Amino acid sequence: MTGAVLRSLIESCRQAKVDPYAYLCDVLGRIADFPIQRIAELLPMNWKPTMA
């Protein structure tokens, strides 16, 4: 990812009041097996962390 993409993603997290580090850790761990039809659930404004 380029710096601009990462910065945009981090700013989106901040606007959604989501911790960028927690978001990225969770989403990067889930994205490979996540159904494409539900990918919008992983956007910062829709994201809900998985239970640990």
Q: pLDDT in tens for each of the 52 residues of the chain?
A: 689 999 999 999 999 999 999 999 999 999 999 999 999 999 999 999 886 5
- What is the predicted pLDDT for the residue at 50? 82
- What is the predicted pLDDT for the residue at 1? 61
Place of tokens 């927690």: 22
Question: What's the rounded Cα separation, in Å, for the pair 24 and 22?
Answer: 6
Side chain identity at 18, as an amino acid letter?
V
Handedness of CA 10, 15, 20, 26 (dihedral sign): negative
- What is the predicted pLDDT for the residue at 47? 95
- What is the predicted pLDDT for the residue at 2? 86
